[in-house]
Amino acid sequence: MKDTKPSILLIYTGGTIGMVKDYDSGALKAFDFSNLEKQIPELKQIDCQISSLSFDYPIDSSNITPDHWIALVELIEKNYHSYDGFVVLHGSDTMSYTASAISFMIDHLHKPIIFTGSQLPIGDLRTDAKENLITAIEIAALQEDGEAVVQEVGLYFEYKLYRANRTTKISAAHFNAFTSPNYPALIESGVSLEVNNAALYRADKTKATEFSKCIDSSVLILKLFPGLSEPILRSIVQTKGLKGIIVESFGSGNAPMFDWFKKLIDELVEQGVLIVNITQCFGGSVLPSHYETSLARINKQIINGKDLTTEAALAKMMLLLGNKTPYSTYKESFEKEIRGEMK
């Protein structure tokens, strides 16, 4: 009889979760994922088959680049039809950036891709790594009527699964390192897994999964602040090759109404530089033209980032630029929700 247990592929990209302490020397060394079930016997209680592979050269997440996003998508594409779900182990510092990017780079996803990591190495006495890893695998293997319960890119940390492109890292010191300020958790882990079915994303089942590997990183993030001067801002935004700017504005989308600032925005738009307006607040959304100081009042071509996180806005901009979205339709394309990333 054919084994019908879900098959899960664990992909280690690098990060704290993949390290263990050598108690003789006190040094950290790479965890051997080929003996995963031997070293974490609790995994045998999950009704699934687990395989693993690693990047050839695992990296600290601070060194992540779009090239690594492409490499990860290629790994998932290569193994997509051989596994029922994927768990990606990643350093926490840039996990929301990578997870958001992967969500945009895979269209019509019908399987779970769950990102997780840890604040402490897997061999530490008080580590959060084992719980995060075990539950992430359990979620990836979760099925109902032969179908995956989660069919999107998620990020699991400290008892909660979030939609990946809704997350941001909020702490370098606590185990609850991530949150989703504008969207509820998809699953909460307690005595049992509590699934928020109404919050889950579903792609069109009639369409085949597609993988995009075109990323254009000719962009920057500009956080507005009191004291931002014209000479400094001009020196930054007039960089040759700049194609897009994510502006983290005040409150619900507000910006200084200085003449030089308005003139500079108009110049950038005229040059074809794309400008996306998101709020630098922890939660909430851009409300264009809500106030006299709204950035949207400066130029009608300003793109409304609505309630996007910085990480999701950046990834979405890079993907649309990489896919050669025409300038004439870029605003419309960006403001349209494509992976449950905004409302």
Nearest alpha-carbon partner for 31 in 138, 123, 165, 152: 123
Q: What is the pTM of this model?
A: 0.95
Exactly one of 13, 16, 116, 310 is catalytic; which is it? Answer: 16
Helix axes 95-105, 66-79, angle to 10 degrees: 50
User: 41: how many CB neighbours lie within 10 A of its CB?
Assistant: 9
Residue with tokens 């190495």: 121
- The CATH number for 219-334, chosen from 3.40.50.720, 3.40.50.10310, 3.40.50.12780, 3.40.50.40, is 3.40.50.40
Does the CA dihedral 104-221-118-25 come out positive or negative? Answer: positive
3-state secondary structure of 248: strand
Expressed in angstroms, the distance from the first to the final Cα of the chain is 46
3-state secondary structure of 110: coil
For each successive 10 residues of the chain (343 residues), what is the average pLDDT?
Answer: 80 90 75 78 92 93 97 98 98 98 98 97 89 97 96 98 98 97 98 97 96 98 98 95 98 97 97 98 93 93 98 98 97 98 96
In the chain, domain spans:
7-211, 219-334
Residue 73 near residue 100 (C-beta atoms within 8 A): no
- The CATH number for 7-211, chosen from 1.10.3720.10, 3.30.200.20, 3.40.50.1170, 3.40.50.880, is 3.40.50.1170
Helices (H), the chain: 36-39, 66-79, 95-105, 129-140, 230-237, 259-270, 310-322, 327-334
d(CA 341, CA 113): 16
Q: Is 127 a catalytic residue?
A: no
Nearest alpha-carbon partner for 91 in 113, 115, 71, 74: 115
Q: Provide the b/e sequence for 101-130 (b: ≥16 CB within 10 Å).
A: bbbbbbbebbbbbbbbbbbbbbbbeebbbb
Model pLDDT, residue 3:
59
d(CA 163, CA 169): 13
7-211 and 219-334: identical CATH topology: yes
Residue 295 near residue 302 (C-beta atoms within 8 A): yes
Beta strands 113-116 and 28-30: pairing type?
A: unpaired
